[in-house]
Amino acid sequence: MDKVYLDNAATTKIKADLVRESILNYYDNINCSPGRGGYQDSLAAGRIILDARQKIADLFNVQDIKQIIFTHNITYALNMGIKGILKAGDHVITTTMEHNSVLRPLKSLEKKNLIKVDYIKCDKKGRLKPEQIEAAINDKTKLIVLTHASNVSGTLMPIKAVGKIAAKYDIYYLVDTAQTAGIYELDFENLKADFLAFTGHKALMGPTGTGGFAISKKMATELEPLIEGGTGSKSDLAEQPNFLPDKFESGTMNTMGINGLKAGVEFIQETGIKNIRTHEQKLAKIFLAGLKKIPEIKIIGPANLKEQVPTFSITAGKRDLGQLSYELDNKYNIMTRSGLHCAPLAHQTLSTFPAGSLRFSLGYFNTEKEIEYTLNALKELL
Amino acid sequence: MDKVYLDNAATTKIKADLVRESILNYYDNINCSPGRGGYQDSLAAGRIILDARQKIADLFNVQDIKQIIFTHNITYALNMGIKGILKAGDHVITTTMEHNSVLRPLKSLEKKNLIKVDYIKCDKKGRLKPEQIEAAINDKTKLIVLTHASNVSGTLMPIKAVGKIAAKYDIYYLVDTAQTAGIYELDFENLKADFLAFTGHKALMGPTGTGGFAISKKMATELEPLIEGGTGSKSDLAEQPNFLPDKFESGTMNTMGINGLKAGVEFIQETGIKNIRTHEQKLAKIFLAGLKKIPEIKIIGPANLKEQVPTFSITAGKRDLGQLSYELDNKYNIMTRSGLHCAPLAHQTLSTFPAGSLRFSLGYFNTEKEIEYTLNALKELL
């Protein structure tokens, strides 16, 4: 069999055909800076950015397209949301299931004694009860940071219930959608989120170098930009403009990447998020049932499709998982990822620290045949 | 005539053929995250990053490839270099010819009363005398920030002489090479720079979404990362690794863009920087001579190829320069940029504030015929 790619939680390798076309269309026909020059090609580059902003605003139900900010990956977006809003004395609530792109910015502010952080411990399947968040709130709590789904166990978090709590206490609410945008409906207004960070190159099917965030107007007023510079606006001022989106978008945009991302979002809208999820869950059901039949395998996390995205972590007794991942690649052309997946506290929570797990993350372009083939490979290797 | 692109100071529109091929080669054959998974395609993505790092280290004569850090544009690099090193009480020296990507980060730290900045006033042609820098040094001076060439008038700055001064007083030295990397030889060691910021999408011919910096090991130890997150290394730690390059590279890299940038640098090395500059200067000589013959035109800046890069700003009496730029595009397909070019203090220095100038910035793929055609268009319009 040809290559089987099961590392979609890192980057989607197979994307909609339109994404490749859009990248090339920009490169061959436009290939210049948007919003800087007044010539036709520069205006066309500007329209790409505008269209992409509109598509993403529609996808996440954000009222004003200016609330969509592009960054170069979701890590930048998360750093901007976290470091730009927190001041000395603030308290933050997050969970042990977060990625290092959330933990490391928080840890560095903690280490400087600027903030205090409660890392709410999730259960052994990575699950969080909303009331755990509520119980941790104090009068210094400025921000709640929560991933929509774990990148290790796939566990879905109660983002809507936590949004209600954040709104009730008037606390800024940041949701990390790295593992769900493009597969799950995300309604920014309804979630009562202030900051929804998204990645471009995973299920949204954009190329690398894309991502960003949606931000509430309230948080946008208070959030300080981490990066300042040329915006092509208010160029008479040596100070950053204070309006959206320019306040948070400095320097030449990755217009080539954003045109690819726009095409990815178009594909998702045309295909329908529900249809994408239905297909992925059909594959996930087969995979999960198959995994359960292999006695050597222990599934880490819910092992229940209602409680997780189609990302599965396993251990296999005393088998070295790096070696197992290597053999899957080397003998079967199956691409997976072993280790700690940049989420050490999640692995501690799931009792897979420090050895980690072997992760299989499914995507829309995977097929039933590939899933069966992978299960067979596992049976042969174990 | 087909389109004539004279906005190379913003982005090079026409790049080496190999750049397009490399972007597609990554997209079609690799298209996954580097350094995260252990499978063949992920390792291939990792090799791209490694090769690109090596190529850029060679280009700038940087000893250890780990000293090369990729960011998503030069604005991010400059913000990292400036905001990551300055502490309360520090003094900074820069010039009035800098871009907003330098001015705005400095202004925001000044506004918070954290730092003091001397903006050394350059002369009416944008020129700086190194002794002006030396005279501004005091015992709090932590950093000197200097562009290699103005993006408005093209004026070259005495980066080598200032490097000697910085070394003499043991002050960190940051050089912004946005307008010169790929056209002028840049020797990091010889310049005695601590931080050399570069953009990928201008003369280095990479696609948008690329850039970065070279950093001295001394400054790297002290510089705090502005962005922290997953690095694929030390994933057991919820703290950012403190080694190069991971300390400053978080989140999924723009491997597609970096593969294009690598190809751009290869093209430059094969063609030879000197040959590139010779060709650009041949065009610049024709253009400058032609401009001087049009009585309505006033050339802003040195108007002397020994003192500037092939970027020319003009005014034309009372003519609206936005209108003139529009007519060049609309009637002649010539792409230029009018306005303030994200450099308000430079325009104040050059006495072109607030109306700005009309900028023509040449690139390696421009031709003599295009230059003659542009001069004719200007004659017809003025």
CA distance B223 to B347: 32
Q: What percent of chain A has pLDDT over 90?
A: 97
Is residue B168 packed enough to be buried (19+ CB in 10 Å), middle (13-18) or exposed (0-12)?
exposed
Q: What is the ipTM of this complex?
A: 0.97
Distance from A51 to chain B by nearest Cα, in Å? 18
Query: From B29, which residue of chain A is nearest by alpha-carbon distance?
Result: A13
pLDDT recorded at residue A38: 84
- Is A372 found in the same domain as A249? no
Indicate the residue among B271, B294, B325 that finishes a domain: B271
Query: Mean pLDDT, to the nearest integer, of A99-125?
Result: 97
- Is B291 found in the same domain as B237? no
- Is A167 found in the same domain as A125? yes
- Is B337 found in the same domain as B213? no
Helix (H, G, I), strand (E, B) or coil at B138: coil
Q: Beta strands A311-315 and A357-361: pairing type?
A: antiparallel
Backbone angles phi, psi at A348, to 5 degrees: -65, -45
Query: Mean pLDDT, to the nearest integer, of A198-220?
Result: 98
Distance from B168 to chain A by nearest Cα, in Å? 30
Total of domains in chain B: 2
Per the prediction, chain A carries an average pLDDT of 97
- Is A369 found in the same domain as A256? no
Indicate the residue among B250, B271, B292 that finishes a domain: B271
pLDDT recorded at residue B37: 65
Contacts of A107 in chain B (CB under 8 A): 228, 238-240
Q: Which residues of chain B have pLDDT under 50?
A: none
Residue whose entry in the numeric block shows the structure tokens 């007044």: A38
Residue whose entry in the numeric block shows the structure tokens 């796939």: A154
Indicate the residue among A238, A271, A304 that finishes a domain: A271
- Is A173 found in the same domain as A87? yes
CA distance A206 to B207: 15
CA distance A157 to A302: 12
Domain of residue A301, CATH code: 3.90.1150.10
Residue A28: other Cβ atoms inside 10 A: 9
Helix (H, G, I), strand (E, B) or coil at A232: coil
- Is B352 found in the same domain as B234? no
pLDDT recorded at residue B235: 86
Helix (H, G, I), strand (E, B) or coil at B360: strand
- Kindly determine whether residue B235 and residue A20, on different chains, have CB atoms separated by under 8 Å: no
The residue range of the domain holding A133 is 17-271
- Is A97 found in the same domain as A51? yes
Query: From B210, which residue of chain A is nearest by alpha-carbon distance?
Result: A254
Is residue A182 very low, low, confident or very high in pLDDT (cuts 50, 70, 90)? very high
Contacts of B71 in chain A (CB under 8 A): 72
**A211-254 pLDDT tens trace:** 999 999 999 999 999 999 999 889 888 899 999 999 999 999 99
Residues with Cβ < 8 Å from B307, sequence gap 6 or more?
A: B125, B127, B155, B156
The answer to whether residue A36 scores a pLDDT higher than 70 is: no
**B320-341 pLDDT tens trace:** 999 999 999 999 999 999 999 9
Query: Mean pLDDT, to the nearest integer, of A23-37?
Result: 91
Residue B299: other Cβ atoms inside 10 A: 18
Domain of residue A105, CATH code: 3.40.640.10
**A94-105 pLDDT tens trace:** 999 999 999 999
- Is A278 found in the same domain as A266? no
Residues with Cβ < 8 Å from B374, sequence gap 6 or more?
A: B4, B6, B287, B328, B332, B334, B360
Is residue A37 very low, low, confident or very high in pLDDT (cuts 50, 70, 90)? low
**A52-67 pLDDT tens trace:** 999 999 999 999 999 9
**A272-327 pLDDT tens trace:** 999 999 999 999 999 999 999 999 999 999 999 999 999 999 999 999 999 999 99
- Is B166 found in the same domain as B74? yes
The answer to whether residue A35 scores a pLDDT higher than 80 is: no
- Is B99 found in the same domain as B146? yes
Is residue A1 very low, low, confident or very high in pLDDT (cuts 50, 70, 90)? confident
- Is A302 found in the same domain as A198? no
